[in-house]
């Protein structure tokens, strides 16, 4: 992590430093967003798979005849 010391930098250097830190923060947030989206996609896929298996179980022909 970059740490700025105001007394060691002039105004232009401070501005450039702040821009670089802002870019790094933006990259970090973008990576976190992608990771969250992937996690959500995986969770949805797992839920869909579970629902599909449950439906397959519920509409299994053999089980229907057992209820009669």
Task: Please report where in the chains the tokens 């830190």 appear, as a residue.
Answer: 21
Residues 6+ apart with CB under 8 A from 3: none
What pTM was computed for the model?
0.58
**What whole-number percentage of the chain has pLDDT above 90?**
51
The Cα 59–Cα 67 span in angstroms is 12
Per-residue pLDDT reduced to its tens digit, 46-61: 999 999 999 888 887 6
For residue 59, give the H/E element and its range.
none
pLDDT band at 11 (very low <50, low <70, confident <90, very high): confident
């Amino acid at each position: 992590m970059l740490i700025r010391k105001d007394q060691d930098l002039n105004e232009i250097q401070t501005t450039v430093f702040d821009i670089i830190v802002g870019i790094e923060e933006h990259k970090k947030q973008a990576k976190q967003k992608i990771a969250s989206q992937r996690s959500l996609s995986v969770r949805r896929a797992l839920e869909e798979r579970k629902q599909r298996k449950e439906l397959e179980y519920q509409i299994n022909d053999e089980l229907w005849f057992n209820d009669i």
